[in-house]
Amino acid sequence: MDQTAPRHVPPIARKEPKRIEQLGRVRVDEFAWMKDEAWQQVLRDPKVLRAEVREHLEAENAYTKAMLADTVPLQAAIFEEMKGRIKEDDASVPAPDGPWEYYARYELGAQQPIHARRRRGETDREQVLLDEEALAKGKPYFRVGAASHSPDHALYAWAADEQGSEYYAIRVKDLATGEEVGPPIDSAYGDFVFSPDSQWLFWIWRDENARPSKVFRRPARGGDDALVYEEADEGMFLGVGVASDDSHVLIHIGNQETTELRLIPSSDPTAEPLVAEPRRVAVKYSLDHWSDRWVIRTNDDGAVDFKLCVSDAAVPAKATWRDWIMHRPGHYIMGFAAYAGHIVRAERVEALDRLVVTARDGAEHMVAFDEEAYALGLEDGYEYATTTTRFVYQSPTTPRQWFDYDLVTRERTLRKTQEIPSGHDAGRYLARRLHATAPDGETVPITLLMLKDAPRDGSAPVLLYGYGAYGHAMEPAFSIRNLSLVDRGWIWAVAHIRGGSDKGWGWFLDGRKAKKPNSFTDFIACAEHLIAEGYATKGKMAAYGGSAGGMLMGAVANLRPDLWGAVIAAVPFVDVLNTMSDVSLPLTPPEWPEWGNPLEDPAAYDVIAGYSPYDNVSAQAYPPILATGGLSDPRVTYWEPAKWVARLRELHAGEAPILLKINMEAGHGGASGRFDFLKEIALDYAFAIWALEERWRAA
């Protein structure tokens, strides 16, 4: 018997061609049948999934399990390594709020945290507010979204998703009695807020298409829900919040390019919300109240990387805005936090973060660090009348450090360093920042993490990670997961491609809509630069990305399959043309500003059709590919990776395996437990090793 002949036969999906005519263009989808037309019901109850679809997904899972059978010990080893880097009985740094300090902690072996509080200054007595581990017991999936105490410290509310579908149930309990008050709120978005007087709970309803579309107000201790606001544009997301000085309840309305805020004065929480500044397409703004004025962050008037304005008006319409912190190209203002005497803004310059503190008298100073690549972020707190802010510092080699920072004296107090129980010697590792040149001449940053003695002759295996969408930057952060590859001699690389905000908001604008292909060519340019600089070898790199980064994986697999020895596409958004043409799906109308509207815009149709991974699979040899998904995922539906894998198998001209793994009990974020999630990462990493070592040839 030929020992190199595959012993396992992949599932072959039946073909049922569906002809789709759109804007005078025609496409044929042979695997459209994989979409269960009752997908809304499947999100809430996966047991109603159509039998033939379930059978196909289970066959795919069985095939993947069989193909990767010899990696089971490796998966277990990687999992144990990652788990060994987690302090099992870890706890957050307590956040003070009046007479109490609030925190979360884990028991030994627990998958989910306990939320608790203690009297300020005390360390030996605590009150448990929410025990997620107990609530999750016996459930295949359990995840808490928002969880918060009321401003008077008498109530505690939390939103829990028990399916992975992101339909949450909100519950409120009395902290004096421990009993729940009022019936739970069902079909909710995972976002809510108490009014500053603690009398009301503002929450968001998620409709039958899983879109947040209405804001309701309910008495905090239970009662009838009152409609506060209904959004008529199904392309908008909703959020709720409270101003830092507790002066207003805020309703956030927006998508990727346009925002609007509505204000409810805390002195009259049942009042009709007032529009701050009416929405204008492509104008984004956010705001906060700073005791006697509003501070507005906006990209209006051509401020691509944003500026800060102030307004003294009761309702801060655009006509009342005055420029305060001027726009400077390349100095991206990511956001700000307001305290009674200071504003702290977060900026990013050349893919490095910094904090700038501005006092009421206008005096400024900067908080920054000196490593070649690092991440710096503000951490939310509860108190406004304080001179202390908290930030988290980390780098690819440096575990997270939590600092309390005195805004007046500029003193830094280290409150916590991320503990690595199995040990971590930062001196063993090297982090580097490189710059690749894209086809149009732009320079694309690359962050590397490797052992100091790793060879630089192209012999080390490389994993290149990318995302490039929605303006999300890939921060050069510390990861307990990546070390499992680096310690095996791998080089971990992150490509800071366009579509993210790594080099400012213009970096995002240059990687969306008609310019989306820049994300793909940037990623390829990073791979080619690593080869040219001796860090990598063609065909010996693993490419890795998830969600919109999974689209990136599909695109670069189509464009340059020769570069990769493995492609890992986690919950990949690969059926772009069909999804952006399906108005029933939760994210389609809200995401037209990101991708374009192929239902109405022929140019957008043609751009998407030119790169959509599913539509551009061709008869060529592909590298080994692992695609993963979640059955109850409302963001990237399970049928996207399933259809993509089916078409890849049909047209693939090589021998490398194409694998699909669908989590039948989870959604977009994968498994909900902190350890179960690591098992999914361990599978991804084991696949990368298995693929680059070409062990699949004997599978």
Among the listed residues 61, 13, 4, the one whose alpha carbon sits nearest the alpha carbon of residue 660? 61
Among the listed residues 426, 354, 428, the one whose alpha carbon sits nearest the alpha carbon of residue 395? 426
Q: Report the C-alpha gap between 150 and 147 in whole angstroms.
A: 10
Indicate the helix (H) or strand (E) that contains 187: strand 185-194
Q: Report the C-alpha gap between 79 and 454 in whole angstroms.
A: 23
Residue 365: active-site member: no
DSSP codes of every residue in 554-611: HHHHHH-GGGEEEEEEES----HHHHTT-TTSTTHHHHHHHH--TTT-HHHHHHHHHH
Contact predicate 30/18, CB 8 Å: yes
Contact predicate 502/485, CB 8 Å: no
Strands, E assignment, 379-508:
388-394, 401-406, 412-417, 429-437, 443-451, 462-465, 491-495
Question: Which residue has 């996966």 as its token pair?
Answer: 46
Q: What angle do CA 501, 504, 510 make, to 5 degrees?
A: 70
Name the amino acid, one letter, at 340: A
Contacting residues for 94 by C-beta, under 8 A, at least 6 apart? 101, 102, 103, 118
Residue of 161, 191, 300, 633 marked catalytic: 633
Among the listed residues 665, 690, 650, 692, the one whose alpha carbon sits nearest the alpha carbon of residue 66? 690
Among the listed residues 389, 409, 478, 421, the one whose alpha carbon sits nearest the alpha carbon of residue 93? 389
Contact predicate 673/679, CB 8 Å: no
Contact predicate 355/391, CB 8 Å: yes
Contacting residues for 428 by C-beta, under 8 A, at least 6 apart? 451, 452
Q: Report the C-alpha gap between 680 and 134 in whole angstroms.
A: 23
Residue of 252, 331, 529, 668 marked catalytic: 668
Among the listed residues 129, 242, 131, the one whose alpha carbon sits nearest the alpha carbon of residue 192? 242
Q: Report the C-alpha gap between 523 and 494 in whole angstroms.
A: 9
Radius of gyration in angstroms for the set of CA atoms belonging to the chain, rounded to a whole number:
25
Question: Which residue has 């001699």 as its token pair?
Answer: 489
Residue 547: active-site member: yes
Question: Which residue has 């925190």 as its token pair?
Answer: 103
Beta bridge partners of 245: none
Residue 266: active-site member: no
Residue of 395, 501, 547, 672 marked catalytic: 547
Contact predicate 103/114, CB 8 Å: no
- Encoding tokens for residue 504? 């400012």
Q: Report the C-alpha gap between 276 and 263 in whole angstroms.
A: 7
Active site residues: 547, 633, 668
